[in-house]
Structure 1
Amino acid sequence: MSEFIRSRLLDNNAALVQMLGLCPLLAVSNTAINAMGMGLATISVVVITNVLVSLIRPITRKEIRIPLFVLLIASVVTTLEMTMNAYFHELYLTLGIFIPLIVTNCLIMARAEAFASKNNWWISAKDGCFVGLGFALVMMAIGIMRELLGQGTLFSQAHLLFGEWGHHLELTVIPDYAGFLVAVLPPGAFFALALLVAAKNKRDLHLANEQKPQQQHENTRAPNT
């Protein structure tokens, strides 16, 4: 995995490290399908917005760049909202107000301002794809954890995203499961996110401890070279 991809998926993950976009991350991750739907929507908006911002950067005045970026994001989100309403109506109703609220997602504005406004459209598209993917994977992980603990199922109501074929994806992992109410309530989202952040921090600490002996060995050899 290249440094470019690893940085966006793991090392500087928008959800686990930068803590951006927590509103949709926590609010609509009660099931895996809801999380997947919002994750795909976020990826689409980030990629399209990054490309548009990159394309207009030569003619954008610095004084108006932020209002212009907001206008672009709002236009893309509105188009996405209308598309979901037309082709994924039930999922659109389930996600509700959180689709138009993508406009206020700090993740999208941050990538537009910090990266897309300074780079060409192709590298900006790649940045948006992997930043959005990192965000979506965290959302999916939270959705799977909450659905499994809260309902004992996986990919319930998959037909909302995949049509009739989605019924074949629905799994009952724990039969006759009474459910764990906290998992499907808002506190469950915070607990799931906390576990993922803790797991990432433990991974980072483990990697740092592994690198220390190697660095010390290189430092002791340096005077002899």
Structure 2
Amino acid sequence: MSTNYGTIARNGIWDNNVVFGQLLALCPLLAVTGTATNGLGMGLASTAVMIGSGFAVSVLRKIITPEIRIPAFVLLIATLVTVVDLAMNAWLHDLHKMLGLFIPLIVTNCAILGRAESFASRQSPLAASFDGLMMGLGFTLALVALGAVREILGSGTLFANAALLLGPSFGFLEITVIPDYQGFLLLILPPGGFIALGVLLALKAMVDSRSRAGGQRVENPQVEKVFTAAGVLSRDAQAGEQA
């Protein structure tokens, strides 16, 4: 069975985005995105689990019987989340403390189990791993975008404490966007997460609407040519019958 990796990438990052397309994983999305740094850390952890679960489910799809597939998928995902949780506690301890309970709760992310059931269990390991990567990147993009909006408008910074939470190599991400900014507390609090998410969803809907409208404008001239040609042929046929 042929696999269109371009379509997989577009679905994961934009068309079928975990947040903007499916409205899944909203609990960690709204809880940890007070800053873009937290969103990036949570997104990378989720991406690692998505890649690993897609690969594992695809490899074991012929061994796992249909009757126990869901419990088996959950067990695989829980195992991978435990590994990621322990790894973050060992090497990214400050970020691990910041994200807290939401790392183990990756197990309950419906998007991971959904992709395991609908895609990975029917595809090759390479395609399943790539799908996990694209879905994870799309989720990370949503987390970082929402965190960036809330952080910039809420405190005037971007990727604050990146060097502390992600490591010294991420220090270049720290930016003061609005100097001497007093901050807007509402955007950092949970209600601000709902407001910012609503704005981002509206912007994506606007982009999709304009994209579809643009596609229709491109296709309309071709349609008009077809109908024009059909009309010419019809007139020629009528002229032939009269003759």
TM-score (ref. length: structure 1): 0.95
Partner of 2:129: 125
Check the 8 A contact 2:156/2:178 in 1, yes or no: yes
Partner of 1:155: 159
Matched ranges for 1:146-185 at <5 A: 146-185=150-189
Check the 8 A contact 1:157/1:166 in 2, yes or no: no
Q: Does 1:80 align with 2:91?
A: no
RMSD in angstroms over aligned alpha carbons? 1.5
Amino acid across the alignment from 1:152: G
Q: Does 1:106 align with 2:110?
A: yes
User: Can you list the C-alpha shifts for 1:134-163, whole angstroms capped at 9, x where unaligned?
Assistant: 111011001111111111111111123442
3-state SS, counterpart of residue 177 of structure 1:
coil
- Unaligned 5+ segments in structure 2 are 231-243
Q: Does 1:116 align with 2:116?
A: no
Check the 8 A contact 1:156/1:171 in 2, yes or no: yes
Gap change, CA 1:123 and 1:165, over 3 Å in 2: closer
Gap change, CA 1:220 and 1:65, over 3 Å in 2: same
- 2:94 aligns with one of 90, 100, 117: 90
Partner of 1:64: 68
- 1:222 aligns with one of 216, 219, 226: 226
Q: Does 1:43 align with 2:47?
A: yes
3-state SS, counterpart of residue 24 of structure 2:
coil
Equivalent residue pairs, number: 225
3-state SS, counterpart of residue 61 of structure 2:
helix
Matched ranges for 1:204-215 at <5 A: 204-215=208-219
Partner of 1:137: 141
Percent of aligned pairs sharing the same letter: 47
Gap change, CA 1:14 and 1:168, over 3 Å in 2: closer
User: Can you list the C-alpha shifts for 1:166-191, whole angstroms capped at 9, x where unaligned?
Assistant: 44432222222211001100111111
Gap change, CA 1:160 and 1:5, over 3 Å in 2: same
- Unaligned 5+ segments in structure 1 are none
Amino acid across the alignment from 1:115: F
How far apart in 2 are the matches of 1:56 and 1:2?
Answer: 25
Amino acid across the alignment from 1:158: A
3-state SS, counterpart of residue 24 of structure 1:
helix
- Greater shift in the superposed pair: 39-48 or 170-179: 170-179
- Greater shift in the superposed pair: 107-116 or 6-15: 6-15
How far apart in 1 are the matches of 2:164 and 2:19?
Answer: 25
How far apart in 1 are the matches of 2:18 and 2:91?
Answer: 29
Which structure has the greater CA radius of gyration?
Answer: 2
How far apart in 2 are the matches of 1:175 and 1:207?
Answer: 36
Gap change, CA 1:12 and 1:168, over 3 Å in 2: closer
Partner of 2:236: none
User: Can you list the C-alpha shifts for 1:21-47, whole angstroms capped at 9, x where unaligned?
Assistant: 111111101001100000000100000
| TM-aligned CA deviation for residue 210 of structure 1 | 1.4
User: Can you list the C-alpha shifts for 1:24-82, whole angstroms capped at 9, x where unaligned?
Assistant: 11110100110000000010000000000000001111000000000001000001100
